[in-house]
Amino acid sequence: MNEITVFIMGKGYRVPAGLTIMKAMEYAGYRLARGCGCRGGYCGACATVYRLPGDYKLYADLACQTPVQDGMYIAQLPFTPAERPAYTLGDLKAEGQTLLALFPELARCVACNTCTKACPQKLEVMDAVQASLRGDIRGVAEFTFDCVSCGLCTMRCPAEISHHHVWQLARRLNGAYLTPRAEHVQTRVAEIAAGKFKAELDKLVTMTKDELVAAYKARQIEA
Amino acid sequence: MKTIAYFPGCAMKDQARPDEAGTLHALALLGYEVTEIPRWNCCGTVYSLAQDDLMRHVGPVRNLVRVQGMGEGRVLTLCAMCYGTLARSARFVAEPERLARINAFLDTEDDFRGGIEVVHLLTLLRDEVGYEKLAAQVKRTLDGLKVGTYYGCVLLRPRLFAVDDPDRPEVMERVVEALGGTPVAFPERTECCGAYLTVGRTDIVGDRVGRILRSARGGGAEVVVTTCPLCQFNLDERRPAGAPTLPVLYLGQLLAWAMGLDEPAVAALVSKEPATGRPVSTGV
C-alpha cells in the first residue's frame, strides 16, 4: 500500500495516499463527533486548515473534499464562534444600510482579500463584503449563493467580520423582498381551490384497484 | 470620445446613486466614455496617517491595480474622499520598500507598478474639458443662480494633493460660471463638514454644518453645491434646527441640468419654484 505521512494536530501518522483529510483522520483513529457532517461538501461542518512542507501559505479547505498530501500539517476547526445579532426579517428593509446597521464591523474591512483566499468554495468573499458596504444586497446574495457557512473566512478575517451570518441575512432579504413573487403559483392555487381538478380527482378516488392499475399503465408519460 | 477609467466609491452606488447617474450622463455628452473599474472595493474612506500600517493601503492600492489591469493610466472619481484616499495612497506606496511589501502581500494580484493618476471631476472639467469649452457646450444656463461653492477639506488639504490653491480656490467657482451661475465664494467654504464624525458625533457635525450654511446664506447663496457625497449628506441631513434651509446639491446635478438633462431640483431653483422632496436626478 502506498502510504504517506501526515501530521494531525501535531502528531505524525502513516496513512494511505488518496484518502481525504477526514478519512485519514478516521484511519488514524480519530472518532469525529463534531467537525463532520454530510461528507459531501455541502454542510460546511469540516473546516480545516493545513500547511505543506516548504510553503509559507496557510491553506483552508473542507476535510471531506481535500485529499491528503505527504508532509501535510492538519488542524481541524470543529466550530467557528461568530456573532449573529437577533433580528426579525419582517421588520427589516432590503435597503442600503440594513446590513451595516446590524453588522457594523463590516466597515472595518481593509480589502486585504484574506477571506477570499480562505474560501473552500472559491467564492469572491471580499467582493461580497464590499457589496455589503455599498448596500448591494442582491449582489451579496449572488456572490454568496454557494456559501456553506464553514466559517473559514470568519476565522481568518483581520476585521473580525462574521461573514456567513451577514450572507445569510442578505440572502434572506433578497429572497423575501428583492426576488420577484411567483405570481403563477398563486394563480394555480386559486384555480385548484376553485375546483379545476375536482372531477378528475373524484374519479381517481372512486376507481377499483384494477381500474387504477390499468389507468396507471395507460398514463401519458411525456407530453 | 475619450475613454477614462472610473472609480465610483460606495456612496455613489448607495445614497448618492441619482447624482452619479446625472453626472455620468453629462460626462458622456461632454465626450467621455466612462468605464467603471471591474470589481472595485471601498477606497478606504479615511486616509490612514499611520506610517507603519501598510495594511490600510491595501484597499486603495488594489483599486489602482485594477485600473492598471484595464490598461489605463488614470482614474476618475466623483467623490472628494475617494480622491483623497486614492491619490495619497498611490503616493505613499510609491516608495520602493513599501511598494515591494504591498506587492508581496497582494500576491494574487498583479504587482502595482505605480504611476496611476487620480483625477477628480473638478480637475477633469478644468484641465481637460476647459471652462470655455464647457460654457460652449452648455444647453441651458443657470440664469445667474447664486451658487455657494463648498469645497470642504479633502479636495484642498493636504497641500500636496490640493486640486487648487488651498487658501483661495477658484475651480468650482469657474465651473459654476461656465454653467451660467453666479458663484458665491463664502468664507466657510473650505471648512470641514465634520466628515466621518457623522457616524458617532452628530453634535459636532451639526455645529459645523450650521456655521457653513449660515456663512453661505450670509453671502447670498440660494443653493450650496459640493463635490463630495459625504459633505452633501452632512450639510443636508445633519442640518441642525434653525440652520438655513437652502438646498444642498451635488455639483454634477448642476452640470447635468445645464447639459439639458432632467434635474427637477435644479429646475425648481432656476424657475424659482419650490422643490418638493429630496432633490434627485434622473439622468440615465
Q: For all residues of chain B together, what is the average pLDDT?
A: 92
Residues A172 and A94 reside in one and the same domain: yes
pLDDT at B126 over 60: yes
Residues A107 and A173 reside in one and the same domain: yes
Residues 108-137, chain A, touching B (beta carbon < 8 A) = 109-113, 116-117, 124, 126-127, 130, 133-136
Task: Among B13, B58, B106, select the one facing A136 at the smallest CB separation.
Answer: B13
CA–CA separation, B29 vs B282, rounded Å?
15
What amino acid is encoded at A75 in this protein? A
Residues A99 and A139 reside in one and the same domain: yes
Q: Which positions of chain A have pLDDT values less than 50?
A: none
Closest chain B residue to the Cα of A116, Cα to Cα: B108
Question: H helices of chain B, where?
Answer: 17-29, 55-69, 80-92, 96-105, 121-124, 131-137, 171-178, 202-218, 229-237, 251-258, 264-270
Domain of A114: which CATH number? 1.10.1060.10
- Asked whether residue A84 is assigned to any structural domain, the reply reads no
pLDDT of residue B24: 96
Query: Could you tell me which CATH class the domain B140-270 is placed in?
Result: alpha beta
pLDDT of residue A156: 97
Pairing of strands B32-36, B117-120: unpaired
Q: Tell me if chain A has a CB within 8 Å of the CB of B137.
A: no
Contact between A126 and B41 using a beta-carbon 8 Å cutoff: yes
Chain A closest-CA separation from residue B159 CA (Å): 26
DSSP, collapsed to helix, strand or coil, labels residue B204 as helix
Residues A171 and A201 reside in one and the same domain: no
- Mutation for B interface: A56, A105, A110, most B CBs within 10 A: A110
- Asked whether residue A223 is assigned to any structural domain, the reply reads no
Crossing angle of the two packed helices B229-237 and B202-218, in degrees rounded to 10: 90
Residues A30 and A97 reside in one and the same domain: no
- Asked whether residue A83 is assigned to any structural domain, the reply reads no
Residues A212 and A146 reside in one and the same domain: no
Residues A67 and A93 reside in one and the same domain: no
Is CATH 3.40.640.10 the right assignment for the domain spanning B2-121? no
- Mean of pLDDT values over B212-232: 96
pLDDT of residue A155: 97
Q: What is the pLDDT of residues A82-100, one digit of tens each?
A: 999 999 999 999 998 999 9
C-alpha cell of A153?
Answer: 473566512
Task: Among A110, A116, A124, select the one facing B56 at the smallest CB separation.
Answer: A110
pLDDT of residue B212: 98
pLDDT of residue B274: 47
- Mean of pLDDT values over B207-215: 97
Banded pLDDT at B226 (limits 50, 70, 90) = very high
Q: What is the ipTM of this complex?
A: 0.81
- Asked whether residue A115 is assigned to any structural domain, the reply reads yes
Task: Among B41, B56, B58, select the one facing A130 at the smallest CB separation.
Answer: B41
Q: What is the pLDDT of residues A55-72, one digit of tens each?
A: 999 999 999 999 999 999
Q: Which residue has the cell 505613499?
A: B92
Residues A43 and A98 reside in one and the same domain: no
- Asked whether residue A82 is assigned to any structural domain, the reply reads no
DSSP, collapsed to helix, strand or coil, labels residue B235 as helix
Residues A64 and A117 reside in one and the same domain: no
Partners of residue B77 on adjacent β-strands:
B7, B120
Q: Tell me if chain B has a CB within 8 Å of the CB of A63.
A: no
Contact between B39 and A127 using a beta-carbon 8 Å cutoff: yes
Closest chain B residue to the Cα of A139, Cα to Cα: B39
Contact between B13 and A127 using a beta-carbon 8 Å cutoff: no
Q: Are A151 and A172 in contact (CB under 8 A)?
A: no
pLDDT of residue A223: 65
- Mean of pLDDT values over B232-241: 95
Chain A closest-CA separation from residue B44 CA (Å): 7
Percent of chain B with pLDDT strictly greater than 70: 95
- Mutation for B interface: A58, A99, A112, most B CBs within 10 A: A112
pLDDT of residue B225: 97
- Asked whether residue A27 is assigned to any structural domain, the reply reads yes
Banded pLDDT at B199 (limits 50, 70, 90) = confident
- Asked whether residue A222 is assigned to any structural domain, the reply reads no
Residues A107 and A147 reside in one and the same domain: yes
Contact between A112 and B105 using a beta-carbon 8 Å cutoff: yes
CA–CA separation, B77 vs B86, rounded Å?
9
- Mutation for A interface: B13, B56, B106, most A CBs within 10 A: B13
pLDDT of residue B15: 85
Q: What is the pLDDT of residues B61-116, one digit of tens each?
A: 999 999 999 999 999 999 999 999 999 999 999 999 999 999 999 988 999 999 99
Residues A171 and A198 reside in one and the same domain: no
Q: Which domain holds residue A205?
A: 192-217
Model pTM? 0.84
Q: Which residues of A touch B106 (CB under 8 A)?
A: 113
pLDDT at B282 over 70: no
Q: Which residues of B touch A101 (CB under 8 A)?
A: none
Domain of A14: which CATH number? 3.10.20.30
Domain range annotation of chain B: 2-121, 140-270
Banded pLDDT at B272 (limits 50, 70, 90) = low
pLDDT of residue B278: 45
CA–CA separation, A131 vs A171, rounded Å?
13
Q: What is the pLDDT of residues B75-89, one digit of tens each?
A: 999 999 999 999 999
pLDDT at B283 over 50: no
CA–CA separation, B226 vs B32, rounded Å?
22
Q: Tell me if chain B has a CB within 8 Å of the CB of A158.
A: yes
Q: Which residues of A touch B17 (CB under 8 A)?
A: none
pLDDT at B276 over 70: no
B25 alpha carbon, distance to own chain's centre? 16
pLDDT of residue B277: 45
Q: Tell me if chain A has a CB within 8 Å of the CB of B10.
A: yes
Q: Tell me if chain A has a CB within 8 Å of the CB of B14.
A: yes
Q: Which residues of B touch A110 (CB under 8 A)?
A: 44, 55-56, 58-59
Task: Among B10, B58, B106, select the one facing A133 at the smallest CB separation.
Answer: B10
Contact between A109 and B42 using a beta-carbon 8 Å cutoff: yes
Contact between A130 and B42 using a beta-carbon 8 Å cutoff: yes
Residues A118 and A42 reside in one and the same domain: no
pLDDT of residue A31: 95
Q: Are B236 and B19 in contact (CB under 8 A)?
A: no
Banded pLDDT at B155 (limits 50, 70, 90) = very high
Closest chain B residue to the Cα of A100, Cα to Cα: B199
- Asked whether residue A33 is assigned to any structural domain, the reply reads yes
Chain B closest-CA separation from residue A47 CA (Å): 22
Q: Tell me if chain A has a CB within 8 Å of the CB of B54.
A: no
Contacts of A161 (CB under 8 A, 6+ apart): A103, A105, A106, A108, A109, A115, A129, A154
How many domains does chain A divide into?
3
